[in-house]
Chains A and B, each alone.
Chain A
Amino acid sequence: MSHLLLLPTEVVLMVLEDLNLGDLLNLRLTCRELNNVIKDSVILQYKIELAASGMVDCPGGQLSTVSRLEMLQRHQRAWRDFSVLEPVLIPPPRGLGENERAMVIFSEGILAYLYVESGGPNSTICFTQLPSKLRRVDYRRWYLHYDRRLRLLFEDLSIDASQDLLLFVTASEDRNIPVVHVHSLSTGHPHQEGPVSGTIGIEHGSLVFPKIEICGDYIGMVISSDRRLMKVSIWNWKTGVIQTESAVNPSQYTTFCFLDDSHILVQSLPVPLIAPAPLLQVYNFRTAHGLYFVLPFTSRHIEAHLLPNAVHHPPTSIGVHDLFVTDPNDKLVVSIVDHQRRPAERYELCIAAQKLLDIFRTERRANTGFPWSEWGPDAAHCAPLRGDMADGAYAVFGMKTAHLISRDGRNMAIITDYHPRRVKRTQDESADWTPSGVQRRETGGVSEPRLPYTVKEVLLPEAYGMDIFLAQHHFYEDGLLLQYHERSGDEWRAKEIWLTL
């Protein structure tokens, strides 16, 4: 018997609770008795289940560890089986005229509609909290009203429900510079942690693309003072002070996303003669240090966009008490690249954000490009999208992606999971998910994946009169949010439906 086991069980558990998943899995194979100690501890079982599912616990709340473990297991089973997709049709918000259009954005389980109330003096934002049986979240709806004279630019609105943060942009009247308003999502008043004035004036140029990305204390936007010179500008929304601006990219089009609270990933599209191929740049906005990653595409690949991934910070502060959430560190970076060719060919490049950061931290080369052959083939998944997937909408959450496609008149979602531990587990336990091919297939310089994944095709509920090619969707902890258009007479009416596990 181990000396360790001569200690009282509660002391042994203190030791074991300090270990991570890999250590616990090794430890339980050392001998029967340690295996039993681990098996009998609910706390350790919960910890193992969290790690194996790629989830993290949100401390606090009333639920015991036993209930949390049980709910987490149910949540993970639901994801693996995908048995029930319960449709919840989101009712249209109050005061939105039948033929009026609202702009819809989604963050962390909160859906926001922006519209001008018909006949009213107000710009209205309607928030809807999507319900979840698996994580005990209720359906909730609330409204904020803003004076129309504020000249709210509806496209320029971002929310981060986990920080109760609402950002919207107005144009200042005198100098026409964009002003970012920092408000509370739940009250509509200036955010308590934001700058005293409640606003941030972007005096360095105009916003190129509407979406402001949010990550923790920082917000980022692409700004430009000249159409061909774009840079990513990072601000601290709590102090209203600019943190940094990335180097100017000679680019037709620049997009970016946050990798974590110190790094952004900037993607620039090629400019003939100057930058012949699309590039990814990991940029540390605290130290202003960056590294270029060369992509396996040429200037003939023109359209490229980076899919931003939700950045979440548990627990949420708007009354929802999350039990557990997807580990914020497990993020997939997805870049979709179109080949300038007829018919168009569409590629997807997926890589774990962690992996990019690991390479960035160990690679000390200066700002010369890091060739694809040295970082890509072993770490990324890069392949042409399958024929029927090439046209569909694409969404990403954590390490999962979802494609909407239509096949033989049926609408489907194709769910792909890239989380290494879940992939392994799914392959062990469920034949239902198809593992990725292990063969390496050469496709015009782009090789088949080393990043393993599993795929599952899910039939979407019928009878929504949905044209999948006009649909958009979002992806969250407990399901898919579909935004589609339904034809009524000559009109197409926008609808939102939440398909929950």
Chain B
Amino acid sequence: MPTIVSVDDSTVPGEGSSRLLLLVSSDNKHIVVEEDIMSRSRFISKQVEGFEATSQRHAILLPFSSFVLNKVIEYCSHYRGYYLLEDDPDAAPPGRSPVREWDQEFLDVDRNMLLRIIKAAHYLEIKSLVGSCARAIADMIRGKTTEEMREILGVENDFTPEEEHSPSSKCTG
């Protein structure tokens, strides 16, 4: 359990007036990051609103490893200052996330990492990143046979042979 530390309201020289946040990962790594980089995360934004209401700033504990957290911070740094429609809490949600080339390269990681990133993005409420991850996962499954999908997703076939061939196990009506 990390100790809760107060972060003073210092500013970073040359980087405008952005305040700093202390994020603590599940493997107890302390990561200092500028507040406006993380403002894309609804979860972090709500925390910051809480700080302002109580005038009390403290570290934010996150339930995933620093490895994953750094990846998410890399994503947020890349899009610092960019407007992404999916992350606008006031905008109507778009049907599907647009394809962003940088994201595709950024998410060219192994399956487990991808699942960890999407979980972290969901926790942090970064909709654009969840959308891009969902698309990347769908791309892995797309065009595969049932057997290949089981391999990719690491699932066991738990249907009985009869069920597998009976129309009742199907869900179209």
Contacts and interface: CB of A to CB of B under 8 A. Distances in A.
B134 A31 contact: no
A34 interface: yes
Contacts of B149: 26-27, 30
B119 interface: yes
Interface in A1-40: 1-8, 11, 14-20, 22-23, 25-35, 38-39
Given A7-B119, A23-B141, A35-B169, A30 B155 contact: yes
A23 B144 contact: yes
Nearest to B148: A26
A7 B121 CA distance: 11
Nearest to B143: A23
B171 interface: yes
Interface string A316-346: 0000000000000000000000000000000
A489 B39 CA distance: 83
A19 B138 contact: yes
Given A3-B115, A29-B164, A31-B157, A18 B171 contact: no
Interface residues of B, number: 36
A95 interface: no
Contacts of A33: 155
Interface stretch (A45-53, A124-132, A463-471): A45-53
Contacts, number: 93
A93 to B, nearest CB: 41
Given A19-B138, A19-B142, A3 B122 contact: no
A48 B146 contact: no
B111 interface: yes
B153 interface: yes
Contacts of A428: 167
B135 interface: yes
Size category, A interface? 35 or more
Interface string B70-100: 0000000000000000000000000110000
Nearest to B111: A3
Contacts of A35: 169, 171
Contacts of A29: 146, 159, 164, 169
Interface string B114-134: 010011001000000011001
A15 to B, nearest CB: 5
A239 interface: no
B138 A7 contact: no
A31 B150 contact: yes
B115 A14 contact: no
A224 interface: no
B156 interface: yes
A23 B134 contact: no
B155 A31 contact: yes
Contact of A7 (B118, B146, B164): B118
Nearest to A22: B143
B153 to A, nearest CB: 4
Interface string A453-488: 000000000000000000000000000000000000
Contacts of B154: 2-3
B141 to A, nearest CB: 6
A41 to B, nearest CB: 9
Nearest to B135: A18
A38 B172 CA distance: 10
A198 to B, nearest CB: 36
Contacts of B169: 29, 35
A38 B146 CA distance: 15
Nearest to A16: B138
Given A18-B135, A28-B170, A3 B153 contact: yes
Nearest to B153: A2
A52 B173 CA distance: 10
B158 interface: yes
B55 interface: no
A59 interface: yes
Contacts of B153: 2-4, 30, 34
B164 A18 contact: no
B112 interface: yes
Contact of A4 (B115, B144, B158): B115
Given A48-B172, A52-B172, A59 B119 contact: no
B137 interface: yes
A11 B116 CA distance: 12
A19 B167 CA distance: 22
Nearest to B122: A11
Nearest to A49: B172
Contacts of B115: 3-4, 6-7
A18 B156 contact: no
Contacts of B118: 7, 11
Contacts of A4: 115, 137, 153
30 contacts: A3-B112, A3-B115, A3-B153, A6-B119, A8-B122, A11-B118, A11-B130, A14-B130, A15-B137, A15-B138, A15-B141, A18-B96, A20-B142, A22-B143, A23-B138, A23-B141, A23-B143, A23-B144, A25-B170, A27-B149, A29-B159, A30-B155, A31-B155, A31-B157, A31-B159, A33-B155, A34-B153, A34-B155, A48-B171, A52-B172
Given A6-B119, A23-B138, A27-B146, 11 more contacts: A4-B137, A14-B130, A14-B134, A19-B138, A20-B142, A22-B143, A23-B142, A27-B149, A29-B169, A31-B158, A35-B169
Q: Give the 7 A-B residue pairs with the shortest CB-CB distance, closest first.
A: A18-B138, A14-B134, A2-B155, A39-B171, A2-B153, A26-B146, A31-B155
Interface of B: 95-96, 111-112, 115, 118-119, 122, 130-131, 134-135, 137-138, 141-146, 149-150, 153-159, 164, 167, 169-173
